Structure 1
Amino acid sequence: MAEITGDQRVQSEVLEGLATAVNHRRWFIELAVPYLGDDPIEIGSGLGDYALEWSERLPRFTATEADPDRLVQLKERLADRPNIDVRQMLLPHNDRGDYSAAVSYNVLEHIEDHVGALESMRDLVRPGGAVIIIVPAFQFAMGPADIATGHVRRYTKKTLGAAMTDAGLTIEKMHYANALGLIGYFMATKVFRLMPKEGPMVKVYDTLVLPATKAAEQLVLPPFGQSVFAVARVPA
């Protein structure tokens, strides 16, 4: 089994900071909704921000976390949601499941054996169900913030597509998201060496820039972005 790497304290600071980026989170929540089905599992739920909002639209939802300390926090935060099951999960593993989908945002880039991790997600999902992934894009943007939070790689559509295909998944949709976010992330983390956590820059971007970026990308998909979004199916 491969645990997520990186400084857990720094990861938690970043998670807490990005939780304030409400418009960004809601955009990425909407991307997954059409593919979740009625009983999905999230791999790497962190502090539960996505799980809380997805669970409001679904009869059942399973949230998971690898880190034991963060798992305790996650269970406490989701304790009053009877339709959410919380469990510990590390990837890769040999478990089998019958979930309608597996969704995993900004987790795969932490795992050395990413094909094995995708195979594990595949095995948790019933035939015809979806594996929904968001990962950070473009290796040139790899910098101190990535390293501090345990990233071992960033992706392109080609490299993520190859990993998903090697894991026995059939790709249905894949595109870049948040083009202006990539430029901002590169400048902030590689040029100015800042961490992507709570602060005026995150709030200004999320309030003023993000809505315009989302609206533009709903009309025309960009040739690059801060993230790669992908949906693949488990073969029947």
Structure 2
Amino acid sequence: MPTVTGDSRLQSDVLEELSDARAYRHWLADLARPYLGDDPVEVGSGTGDYAAEWAPSVTKFTATEADESRYKALAARFATDETVDTRELHLPDPDADGHHTAAIAYNVLEHIPDHVGALRGMGALVRPGAAVIIIVPAFPSAMSRFDRAIGHERRYTRKSLHDAMTAAGLDVEEVRYLNPIGLLNWYVSVKGLGMTPRNGALLRLYDRTFVPIARFLDRHARSPFGQSVFGVARVPAVAHVPRPRVS
């Protein structure tokens, strides 16, 4: 994978510490479900929580991880699951044959300095016309000490994610903000007070009380801001041909 930055141990700890956010995870998993097809691949599966959400909906699921220690745990988790294949994946993948029906990366792209190269590498994993599905943290102004410690190279706007997808040669289908309540909470708790997201009573309260509200709002209106940016783009079914210049 193009160089991934950040404290690997901290990244693993945070993935484990947010396991109580079940309603939030179900919501984000459901956003990708319409685009998966029958043979998707996830880039940067971490502990495999999203893979476990998606696997029952598909014929075959490929969960991948670039970090060696997380990959070992991922492989052990799905060792007896006949639907889920696991592999250690670094982009660009020299063996990519473009057979997958979708590629998903949730909270991965922000760790990669060459995010356009990573998106291009994801596109090489899937069939023409298939979807590349992305979630990334939103708004540069929300960058905190925690973001930097965990290896976030950037936070995104709708425009910056759209531009990165376009630069990677993908056809953008949708880019929108998610979870405005979460962004306000982030400004106060993580950026303002320097808190680290973790399991506990506050997270469970937020997950049970505020996430259903945020999900309801997302179904009925598009927010002008949010904690994350959700994007869907497709690999062109036909290669783009530059238009001739008109003299």
Superposed pair shares fold, TM > 0.5: yes
Return 202-211 or 59-68, whichever deviates more. Answer: 202-211
Look up the SS of the partner of 1:6 in the other structure: coil
Look up the SS of the partner of 1:81 in the other structure: coil
Deviation string, structure 1 residues 9-67 (Cα, Å, up to 9, x no partner)? 21112101222100000000000000011100000000000001100111100000010
Aligned-partner Cα distance in 1 for 2:182–2:145: 17
Matches within 5 A, 1:73-222: 73-96=73-96, 97-222=98-223
List structure 1 segments (4+ residues) > 4 angstroms apart after TM superposition. none
Q: Displacement, 1:145?
A: 1.0
Aligned-partner Cα distance in 1 for 2:10–2:205: 22
Structure 1 residues 112 and 95, CA gap change in structure 2 (3 angstroms): farther
Other-structure match for 1:69: 69
2:3, 2:114 within 8 Å by CA — same for their partners in 1? no
Aligned-partner Cα distance in 2 for 1:202–1:90: 32
Look up the SS of the partner of 1:56 in the other structure: helix
Q: Displacement, 1:173?
A: 1.1
TM-score, normalization by structure 1: 0.97
TM-score, normalization by structure 2: 0.93
Return 196-205 or 22-31, whichever deviates more. Answer: 196-205
Q: Displacement, 1:196?
A: 1.1
Q: Displacement, 1:212?
A: 1.1
Other-structure match for 2:243: none
Q: Displacement, 1:201?
A: 2.1
Q: Displacement, 1:155?
A: 0.3
2:3, 2:113 within 8 Å by CA — same for their partners in 1? no
Look up the SS of the partner of 1:91 in the other structure: coil
Aligned-partner Cα distance in 2 for 1:212–1:154: 24
Look up the SS of the partner of 1:37 in the other structure: coil
Amino acid corresponding to residue 220 of structure 2 in structure 1: L
Look up the SS of the partner of 2:133 in the other structure: strand
Amino acid corresponding to residue 27 of structure 2 in structure 1: W
Aligned residues: 236
The alignment-based identity, stated in percent, is: 52
| Unpaired runs of at least 5, structure 2 | 238-247
Q: CA RMSD in A?
A: 1.0
Look up the SS of the partner of 1:129 in the other structure: strand
1:93, 1:117 within 8 Å by CA — same for their partners in 2? no
Matches within 5 A, 1:20-99: 20-96=20-96, 97-99=98-100
Q: Displacement, 1:199?
A: 2.1
Work out which of the two has the higher radius of gyration on C-alpha atoms and give 1 or 2: 2
Return 24-33 or 76-85, whichever deviates more. Answer: 76-85
